[in-house]
Amino acid sequence: MARSFYFTNVFLDFIPGDIVTNQIIVATAFATTTPVPEFRIFHNSMTGSNPTKVWEFWKSGIKYLKYNPFEQQIRETGFWVTGDKKLYDTVIYLQDDLPAQIMGVIAKIPFIGSKQM
């Protein structure tokens, strides 16, 4: 998911799960009241009414993680912004992917690693 967030001005398509679940219940209840099966479209939420941009999403996520850190994380929580996808992919690989792969290898070494790594 993180790899699609290198543009800062893109709107995110977030729809809360409870709204979707409620709409499924309403559509199902409505379908049971129709005497003949018919095709209906129910549209219940629109991202454009309360949009979130990538930058705002990351700022709120970073703020949350500062006070609620993961039990195990490779590096300290933080963020930076770039419009260069190659630079972004390189930094993510060097800071996140590569250390995680190294930890995976170390975890498999007898007497050194463990499943907790």
Q: Could you read off the pLDDT tens digit of each residue along the chain, which spans 117 residues?
A: 444 455 666 676 666 777 778 888 888 888 888 888 788 777 776 656 667 777 777 777 777 777 776 666 666 666 777 788 899 889 889 888 898 888 888 888 888 766 665
pLDDT at 13: 66
pTM: predicted TM-score of the whole model, two decimal places? 0.39
Domain count, the chain: 2
- Regarding whether 71 and 14 lie in a shared domain, the answer is yes
- Regarding whether 61 and 13 lie in a shared domain, the answer is yes
What domain range is 61 assigned to?
A: 2-78
Contact in structure between 11 and 51 (CB atoms under 8 Å) = yes
**Nearest-CA neighbor of 45 among 20, 10, 12?**
20
